[in-house]
Amino acid sequence: MRRTIMLGFGAAGMLAAVPAQADPIPDSIAAMIHAAADTGNAVTLKTVADLAKKTNPNAAKEIDELATGLQKQADDKQIAKVRTQKPWQGWKGQGQAGLNNTTGTTDTTGISLGLNLVRNGIKWRHTVIASANYARQNGVTTANQHAVSYQMDYKLNDRFFVMGLVSWEGDRFSGFERRFSETLGAGYTAIKTPTMTLNLTAGPALRQTRYVPDYQITTGYDDGKLAGRAGLDYSWTIRPGVVFTENATYYGQSGDSTLTANTALTMKVFGRLSVQAGFLVDHETQPPVGLAKTNTTSRLTFVYGF
């Protein structure tokens, strides 16, 4: 009897030591994951895979392996495609247009236009950004802000890169008629996931500014200064179709330093069309006399991706 009991315990122990057999991925779930991979969007694939694991926990490992394999296939395909592209090919971006409300030196409503272009290669990344905010009040122009910049990054590895940036901007209501900036620096990708990225940059810069006249000077005056530049670019895909972004730049120099911060929430409407709510802050530490140090622009724009 004792021997029978011991044998029973031994058999039970052996059974307990055998791992539970994983369930196969249901055909409908596998088809859904393949469809998500075909979109080419890593966030969509991750979201679908996470949902599939919650509804099929016994097949979680197999789902992970399938999603990882499909993502690698998509990455390899994209790399092969990029290697054969011409310089004018492979650009992606978005254009936007809408209304704005400006406070600070002026308190008016007007229009906002913008264009963002990015070409992300194997080693090089090119970014072009252009924007314009314009407003009139009682037949008088009360806001006329425009800027364009080009940034070129060379990727040293998966995290570090070196960058060069040239920009031009004009905004009389922030105290200057035109300003050129040239920057060389280094960058680091602090966060890099399918749903979140954070790039930090820093380096020396040259700035040539033509300020507007004030009550002491009847003509504009030029100022060329060596400055230090720090930048932050953050993007968080809260869920597919909803993206929060924060882009901030600080130029520190003797005299007039500048802080620019652009916060936006973009929500997909349908297809390639989205709506974006944005808030832009421009701060000059020493603008010409009579002008506000801080100007803000609230925007509601339609965004078209391509």
pLDDT at 224: 84
Structural contact between residues 245 and 274, judged by C-beta atoms closer than 8 angstroms: no
Structural contact between residues 190 and 158, judged by C-beta atoms closer than 8 angstroms: no
Identify which has the larger pLDDT, 107 or 38: 38
Torsion 30-35-36-42 (CA) sign: positive
Q: What global pTM score does this model have? A: 0.72
How is residue 85 written in tokens?
């592209």
The mean of the pLDDT values for the chain is: 84
For the chain, report the end-to-end CA distance as a whole number of angstroms: 78
Nearest Cα to 33, choosing from 1, 11, 17, 55? 55
Say whether pLDDT at 18 is over 50: no
Say whether pLDDT at 40 is over 60: yes
Query: Given the structure tokens 């409503």, which residue do they identify?
Result: 109
The DSSP call for residue 215 is S
Lowest mean pLDDT, pick from 20-24, 72-76, 283-287: 20-24
Please report, to the nearest 10 degrees, the dihedral formed by the alpha carbons of residues 238, 239, 240, 243 taken in order: -20
- Residue 11 — very low, low, confident or very high, per pLDDT cuts 50/70/90? very low
Lowest mean pLDDT, pick from 111-120, 156-165, 206-215, 240-249: 206-215
What Å distances lie between residue 89 and 32, 95, 119, 240, 275, CA to CA? 31, 18, 8, 26, 27
- Residue 199 — very low, low, confident or very high, per pLDDT cuts 50/70/90? very high
Say whether pLDDT at 100 is over 70: no
Say whether pLDDT at 29 is over 70: yes
CB-based burial, 145-161: b 16+ in 10 Å, e otherwise? bebebebebebeeeeeb
Say whether pLDDT at 298 is over 70: yes
What would the DSSP string read from start to end of 249-289? EEEE-SS--EEEEEEEEEEEEETTEEEEEEEEEEEESSPPT
Beta-strand pair 258-270/273-284: antiparallel
